[in-house]
Amino acid sequence: MKIATIIVRVLIGLLLLFASISYFFNLMPAEPMTNDNFKAFNVGLVASTYLMPLAKSIELICGLAFVSGRYVTLANILILPITINILFINYFMSPEHLPIAGLLLLANIFLIYRYWHNYKSVFTV
């Protein structure tokens, strides 16, 4: 189980690092958006000027934490809301990317389960 945890942690970390670095350095061309609702949502995100850089910065920090194996407990909690939003955005507006978002959420939940002993003190009365 320890090897599976390391594999999942590193794969999530590499995915988050790839997504954030490609955003900051414009490495990937933007996909043409066919869904008008998704296009309007994306325009709103870009117009906010802070939300995408904030989310991608958190992805970068969490990706580094996952790959290095340090502060994984904190990174799990930080990335969970972003992962849930990625899942919902893909479910409602871009269902062709739903499998990747679902795997990302399942992997995040798996890591929370594996590091549950670190979260026990938060949930005690």
Give the confidence band of 78 by pLDDT, cuts at 50, 70, 90.
very high
Map tokens 């799990």 to a residue.
76
- For residue 30, pLDDT over 80 is answered with no
Residue 98 token pair: 């739903």
pLDDT digits (tens, 9 = 90+) for 103-118: 999 999 999 999 999 9
Nearest to 102 by CA among 94, 116, 28: 94
Q: Tokens 């414009």, residue?
A: 26
Q: Which of 57, 27, 32, 29 is nearest to 42 (CA)?
A: 32
Q: Is the pTM of this model over 0.95?
A: no
The full set of domain ranges for the chain reads: 2-27+35-120
Residue of 26, 19, 100 whose CA lies nearest to 63: 19
DSSP class of residue 85 equals: H
Average pLDDT over residues 77-85: 96
